[in-house]
Amino acid sequence: MSFSLYKRKEGEEQPYWPFGPFKIRLPLIHYRWEWIEFFQALILFVVSLAMIPLLEKYLGLPYEIALAYVFVCGIGFMLPAFLGVPMVPGWITPAIPVVLLYLSQFEPGPEAIQALVALQLLVAAIFLLLGITKLSSRIVRNVPSSIKAGILLGAGVAALMGELEIGGRITNTPIALGLGSLLCFYMLFSISFLKLRQTNQIARILGKFGMVPAMVFAIGIGMLVREYPLPDIEFGITIPAFKEMWGYLPFMVGFPTADMFIKAIPTAIIAYIIAFGDIIVGTVLVHTASAEARPDEKVDTGADRIHLVTGLRNVIHSLFAPYPGLAGPIWTAVTATVADRYRQGRQAMDSITSGSGTFWVAGFLALFILPLVSFFKPFLPIGLSLTLVVTGYLCIITAFKQVETPAELGVAGTMAVVLAMHGAAWGLGVGIVLHIILERRLSLIPDKPDVEPAKN
């Protein structure tokens, strides 16, 4: 299966079928199958299953319905590579804690589903509008640095608070998740492990799999110390409960009211600003790998196309699987892993599209493998917790890179605490007010012109 019908000429763009603003590419026709990404996806697909506990808790869905939602998400994950986006898509992960604060205002069930539909439709509208008008860069560039930092810092603090609070996942299973988080931090962010990868072959191989080793380790420890039960493995093919899922969609529970759309506006704005940062990160990752190591392929990232595809995915979710993770432009950890292998040359990975495309096609196929799905069922909190802990850490680092002055830091820090404790509306409101009164030069009395000292 390591072939494709169309072949790319040296230095040209990967073949595609043009379709309006999109570039349609199909596996084995326009790009080859990459086995490394295939095997990674057979484990990392569990992260997509990790959304199930949130769907059960905040939307009141039964497990079978939540699993059917994940299948819809899997279809959405395959769309970017199909439509010409070279990055591995994911959720708007840093926004998840903010979305959960928003959803906590509503009763699980039809009301929460309607509220999430309102939010996701607004997010879709923002992406589609800015993708069509090409105004995204200009708008986000004008958001003050302190408010960007406050959003990221608030999301990071909320993510860590949710995991560490009494009754949170880490406090309930401290050994498995505590040790798993430490190993994850060490392998992803440690200076010593980075040096070890340069000299040790085993470390170099483990490093290519991102969060997978830490996840497998946490699962093993969790079973060993009995913080998690042994899985009840079932055999066969997973059959999504699409028929029953219909009763939990807006067509049956009702569409959101105008009041819900108004309440969702601050959270939608925050989610977009975070996602735009992800687009920048993904573009840099892909362009850097291409420019430095792969002159054989011309890569078109296309920010407007990314906006349109992400908006389309959020529309699909809104109507057929409202999702607390929302539909985001990039899964940063996996995109970085794919880009790292892409650097090794055409023999290692024919095209950046072949790596990113194979990953989520394989991840979607894995959902049908019932032994895999049933094995990971007891350990879904591990995948979700490690994802949120890593996200929280990255958000905090990125937030501090945004600020340059004590005033900006003070605005960002105060805004972050309010956002993490009281939600997006209060956080944004406090951030804007503080920015105006602390960072803007406001005076009812015009400045006196400087007077030069008298010359003798």
Measure the CA–CA gap between 2 and 19, rounded to whole angstroms.
26
Inter-residue contact 51 to 325 (CB < 8 Å): yes
Contact residues for 52 (Cβ-Cβ < 8 A; gap 6+): 63, 66, 67, 70, 380
Q: Is pLDDT at 340 greater than 60 in this prediction?
A: yes
Q: Is pLDDT at 454 greater than 60 in this prediction?
A: no
What's the whole-number mean pLDDT along residues 345-357? Answer: 90
Q: Which helix (H) or strand (E) holds 138?
A: helix 136-141
Q: How confident is the model at residue 451 (pLDDT cuts 50, 70, 90)?
A: very low
Q: Which of 1-15, 52-66, 70-84, 255-269 has the lowest mean pLDDT?
A: 1-15
Q: Is residue 192 part of a domain?
A: no
Collapsing DSSP to helix, strand or coil, 343 comes out as coil
Measure the CA–CA gap between 294 and 429, rounded to whole angstroms.
46
| Domain coverage including residue 238 | 31-173+228-438
High-pLDDT (> 70) share of the chain, %: 96
Q: Is residue 194 part of a domain?
A: no
* Digit-coded pLDDT (tens) for 25-37: 999 999 999 988 8
Q: Is residue 425 part of a domain?
A: yes
Inter-residue contact 412 to 155 (CB < 8 Å): no
* Digit-coded pLDDT (tens) for 234-291: 999 999 999 999 999 999 999 999 999 999 999 999 999 888 888 877 887 788 888 8
Measure the CA–CA gap between 327 and 175, rounded to whole angstroms.
32
- Check residue 75 and give its pLDDT: 95
User: 51, 70, 23, 80: which is closest to 387 by C-alpha?
Assistant: 51
- Check residue 2 and give its pLDDT: 61
- Check residue 456 and give its pLDDT: 45
CB atoms within 10 A of CB 292: 9
Distances (CA, A) of 421 to 161, 166, 264: 9, 15, 17
How many domains would you assign to the chain? 1
Q: Is residue 19 part of a domain?
A: no
Q: Which of 139-143, 152-156, 364-368, 423-427 has the lowest mean pLDDT?
A: 139-143
Measure the CA–CA gap between 15 and 390, rounded to whole angstroms.
36
Half-sphere exposure of 173 (CA within 13 A, CB side): 25
Measure the CA–CA gap between 99 and 267, rounded to whole angstroms.
7
> What average pLDDT does the chain have?
88
DSSP 230: P
Measure the CA–CA gap between 203 and 215, rounded to whole angstroms.
16
Measure the CA–CA gap between 408 and 293, rounded to whole angstroms.
38
CB atoms within 10 A of CB 68: 25
Collapsing DSSP to helix, strand or coil, 24 comes out as strand
Helix, strand, coil % in the chain, rounded to nearest 5: 70, 5, 30
Q: Is residue 368 part of a domain?
A: yes
Q: Is pLDDT at 1 greater than 80 in this prediction?
A: no
Q: Is pLDDT at 171 greater than 50 in this prediction?
A: yes
Q: How confident is the model at residue 374 (pLDDT cuts 50, 70, 90)?
A: very high
Half-sphere exposure of 83 (CA within 13 A, CB side): 23
Query: How is residue 31 written in tokens?
Result: 């790009």
Q: Is residue 8 part of a domain?
A: no
Q: How confident is the model at residue 166 (pLDDT cuts 50, 70, 90)?
A: confident
- Check residue 243 and give its pLDDT: 93
User: 198, 227, 266, 241: which is closest to 423 by C-alpha?
Assistant: 266
Query: How is residue 200 written in tokens?
Result: 């040790």
- Check residue 449 and give its pLDDT: 52
**Residue predicted with more confidence, 399 or 107:** 107
Q: Which of 179-193, 201-215, 258-272, 441-455 has the lowest mean pLDDT?
A: 441-455
Q: Which residues of 231-250 are buried (b: 16+ CB within 10 A; e: fewer)?
A: eeeeeeebebbeeebeebbb
* Digit-coded pLDDT (tens) for 381-438: 888 888 888 888 888 888 888 888 999 999 999 999 998 888 888 988 999 999 999 8
**Residue predicted with more confidence, 190 or 452:** 190
Stated length of the chain: 456
Query: How is residue 146 written in tokens?
Result: 């302190």
DSSP 437: I
Q: Is residue 126 part of a domain?
A: yes
Per-position DSSP letters for 231-300, written without gaps between them: P----SB----HHHHGGGSHHHH-PPPHHHHHHHHHHHHHHHHHHHHHHHHHHHHHHHHHHHH-TTEE--
Q: Is residue 71 part of a domain?
A: yes
- Check residue 99 and give its pLDDT: 94
